[in-house]
């Protein structure tokens, strides 16, 4: 299945994806990156769209219960939460692993002069 | 647990640049990068495939302000002057575009000088005005070659400049982000700002392309 087909299926399955007449729109680059990762995982049968929709809906409900005022501009924050959760539930990477990588990336950014590509190295994992 | 001073910088919102010349990633960017790294290491995603998906949406990310800023500068000499003097303030007075941070500098292409920008993708990249940087833009070779042999890089993008045109390369720092105002194409007299904005490509605002011509031809790649 092509990426475009997968994206079309995602739009059908997820009516609330921010979009215009031509397809999805993203407020920031990371939103598109999160969307792209989700498409790839779907293409590899890690989950179905109904399964994804259920996880995302649960994350949105949880955020609303916690007082999230506006679903529109926080949609991809919920999306990212859902992605982390589903990746953990499927046994791909648990929260501890993701935390460890986040610390490492922060370390990598902190030692990388501005204007140079930020690259993760082994030493970023040792604290 | 004590926090190492160097690493105790503010990672929440606000993005001050008090940490000097080091890179910075927001908490959200850290989460996205971490997911991508883990998923790539486990063989679920590869960055080329992800880049391809993201690139397919590159014109649909962020407010895409830059083209309208350039079109206004072409159409309104007063605005152009204000933009060259203080780009952030000028853009923020446009009213109908999303506000930009205070570090934006506009540089104009002329017959005498062609401007080109290099930077990499940390949170200081002005995607609010330029849209998403292309994949090549993030690469180390582009950055070093753009400085060493800008004409060769330009020719790979299909841009050949007269020998007498000076090529100036601007290297973004934590304090400065650049937008190139490309030359207004000929044959566009009397065009509205909306029509003009259609001619302003992303690459033309980075300086690796020229604005589209009214006949639809482009030297952008």
pLDDT tens digits, A53-106: 999 999 999 998 988 876 677 899 999 999 999 999 999 999 999 999 999 999
**pLDDT given at position A21:** 82
The verdict on a CB contact (< 8 Å) between B23 and A114 is yes
CA dihedral of B189, B191, A22, B45, whole degrees rounded to 10: 40
* pLDDT tens by residue, B17-35: 444 567 778 899 999 999 9
- Whether B214 maps to a domain, the answer reads no
Tokens at residue B111, please?
């017959």
Within-domain flag for B149: yes
Q: Is the pLDDT of residue B151 over 60?
A: yes
Q: For residues B50 and B70, state if they share a domain.
A: no
Least CB-CB distance to A83: which of B21, B35, B118? B35
Q: Would you state the pLDDT for residue B123?
A: 47
Q: At what angle do helices A3-13 and B47-56 cross, to 10 degrees?
A: 60
State the pLDDT at residue B138.
67
User: Six-digit token pair at B217?
Assistant: 């031809």
Asked whether the beta carbons of residue B49 and residue A25 sit closer than 8 angstroms, the reply is no
Q: B84 in a domain, yes or no?
A: yes
* Interface with chain A: mutation pick from B21, B31, B60, highest number of A CBs within 10 Å: B31
- Answer yes or no: do B34 and B67 share one domain: no
Are B52 and B116 contained in the same domain? no
pLDDT-derived band at A113, boundaries 50, 70, 90: confident
Let me know the angle formed at the C-alpha of A115 by B90 and B10, rounded to the nearest 5 degrees. 80
How many Cα neighbours within 13 Å face the side chain of B213?
A: 6
Cross-chain Cβ contact B53/A40 below 8 Å: yes
Answer whether B31 sits within 8 Å of A117, measured CB to CB.
no
Q: Taking the mean position of all CA atoms in its chain, how far away is CA B214? A: 23
Which among B47, B30, B122 is positioned nearest to A105, based on CA atoms?
B30
Q: Is-catalytic flag, B123?
A: yes
In chain A, domain spans? 3-85, 94-127
- Whether B124 is catalytic is yes
Residue A97 to chain B, least CA–CA distance (Å)? 8
Q: Are residues B104 and B161 both part of a single domain?
A: yes
User: How far is it, in rounded angstroms, from Cα B123 to Cα A21?
Assistant: 29
pLDDT digits (tens, 9 = 90+) for B73-120: 999 999 999 999 999 999 988 876 666 777 789 999 999 999 998 765
Q: Which of A40, A44, A77 is nearest residue B50 as measured by Cβ atoms?
A: A40
Same domain, B40 and B134: no
Residues 6+ apart with CB under 8 A from B130: B66, B179, B202, B205, B206
Which residues face B167 on adjacent strands? B114
Would you say residue B159 lies in a domain? yes
Is B122 one of the annotated active-site residues of the chain? yes
* Interface ipTM: 0.94
CB atoms under 10 Å from CB of A111, counted, come to 15
Please say whether the beta carbons of B74 and A36 come within 8 A. no
* Structural domain span for residue B198: 63-206
Domain assignment present for B199:
yes
- Checking if the pLDDT of B204 tops 80, the result is yes
By mean pLDDT, which of A117-121, B106-110, B159-163 is the weakest?
A117-121
Which helix (H) or strand (E) element contains residue A80?
A: helix A71-89
pTM exceeds 0.80: no
Tell me which of B29, B56, B83 is where a domain ends. B56
Query: Is residue B151 assigned to a domain?
Result: yes
Q: Say yes or no: B52 and B67 in one domain.
A: no
Strand A23-24 with A19-20, pairing: antiparallel
Same domain, B141 and B116: yes
Q: How many domains does chain B have?
A: 2
């Amino acid at each position: 299945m092509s990426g475009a087909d997968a994206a079309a299926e995602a739009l059908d399955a997820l009516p609330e994806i921010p979009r215009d007449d031509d397809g999805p729109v993203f407020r920031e680059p990371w939103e598109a990156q999160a969307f792209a990762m989700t498409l790839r995982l779907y293409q590899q049968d890690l989950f179905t769209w109904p399964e994804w929709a259920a996880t995302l809906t649960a994350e949105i409900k949880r955020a609303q219960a916690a007082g999230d005022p506006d679903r529109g501009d926080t949609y991809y924050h919920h999306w990212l939460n859902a992605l982390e959760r589903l990746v953990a539930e499927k046994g791909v990477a648990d929260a501890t692993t993701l935390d460890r990588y986040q610390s490492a990336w922060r370390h990598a950014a902190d030692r990388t002069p501005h204007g140079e590509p930020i690259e993760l190295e082994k030493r970023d994992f040792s604290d | 647990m004590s926090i190492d001073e160097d690493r105790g910088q503010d990672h929440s919102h606000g993005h001050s640049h008090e940490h000097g010349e080091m890179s910075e990633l927001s908490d959200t960017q850290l989460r996205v990068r971490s997911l991508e790294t883990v998923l790539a290491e486990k063989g679920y995603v590869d960055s080329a495939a992800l880049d391809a998906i993201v690139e397919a949406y590159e014109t649909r990310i962020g407010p895409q302000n830059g083209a309208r800023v350039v079109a206004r500068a072409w159409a309104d000499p007063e605005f152009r002057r204000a933009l060259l003097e203080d780009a952030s303030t000028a853009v923020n007075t446009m009213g109908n575009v999303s506000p930009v941070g205070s570090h934006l500098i506009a540089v104009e292409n002329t017959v005498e000088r062609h401007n080109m920008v290099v930077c990499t993708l940390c949170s200081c990249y002005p995607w609010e005005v330029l849209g998403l940087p292309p994949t090549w833009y993030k690469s180390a070779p582009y950055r070093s070659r753009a400085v060493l042999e800008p004409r060769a890089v330009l020719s790979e993008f299909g841009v050949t400049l007269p020998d007498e045109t000076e090529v100036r390369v601007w290297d973004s720092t934590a304090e400065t982000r650049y937008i190139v105002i490309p030359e207004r194409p000929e044959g566009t007299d009397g065009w509205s700002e909306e029509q003009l904005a259609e001619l302003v490509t992303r690459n033309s605002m980075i300086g690796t392309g020229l604005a589209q011509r009214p006949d639809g031809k482009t030297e952008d790649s």
